Homo-oligomer: A and B are copies of this chain.
Amino acid sequence: MAPSNDELTRTVQGLLTRVQQLEDRLEIQQLQSRYIHYLFKQRFDRIVDECFAKRLPDVSVEFSDSGVYRGLDSVRALYRSFDVTKTIPGFFILHMAVNPVIEFAADGLSARSHWLSPGAAGSDRSASWIWGTFYIDYVKEDGRWLIAHSNLVPVFRNRYETSWAQAPDHGTVRGVLSAPPDEPITLYKPYNEAKKQCDMFKDHPDLPRPAAKR
């Protein structure tokens, strides 16, 4: 027997919610990829407009020992200051982001995520491996997912010539960037220091867990 119109309506309402959730997940994945491609290809002028939240007072970015850039003006100044890398021959920064664990708030308007990041950076004179974790929050503004908070916390960032275990230091991102951060480093420790600890990640945030069902 065919279900009543009411039953069918309820089923379709359920599908609308589930399809929205699938779209949200894939849209966030593509947003994150878009950010990474722009960074790698030095399209810094596109990053804030296309990838970051505009109406979140505490929007933020942090990576390695950068400190925290907080607020839209600081985030814009940061990516503007990356433009100087276009004057460095052979410059690239390649931070991939894989294995996302993304969990949504109950209202479906924000999400927390952890990613893993294999990566490399270079210029005509130097080559480094940069591998670690991305901790990223997203928010939906006007129906569009954007980055709310991003923190890239490398486990190692050693020069190619010396392994992460042997490297006496793991460099700094502070040399190139003129824009000053607003707050100190939160999580990152260079591996030459971190490696003295056991259970190195014990102060890192817990993997996001599912919210109660929307």
Contacts and interface: CB of A to CB of B under 8 A. Distances in A.
Interface in A133-182: 133, 155-156, 159-161, 163-166
Q: Specify the main secondary structure of chain A where it touches its partner.
A: mixed
A160 B25 CA distance: 36
A98 interface: yes
A70 interface: no
A41 interface: yes
Given A87-B198, A91-B200, A165-B122, A2 B12 contact: no
Contacts of A36: 99, 116
A94 B30 contact: no
Nearest to A21: B23
A118 B40 CA distance: 13
Contacts of A26: 22, 25-26
Contacts of A18: 19, 23
Contacts of A40: 116, 133, 201
B2 A89 contact: no
B11 A8 contact: no
Interface string A1-20: 01101101101100110110
Interface residues of A, number: 74
B194 A90 contact: yes
Pick the 3 closest A-B CB pairs, nearest first: A90-B195, A160-B163, A127-B163
Contacts of A90: 165, 191, 194-197, 200
A33 interface: yes
Most B CB within 10 A of own CB, among A5, A41, A99, A166: A99
A102 to B, nearest CB: 7
Given A37-B99, A99-B96, A116-B37, A122 B164 contact: yes
Interface string A38-62: 1011110000000000000000000
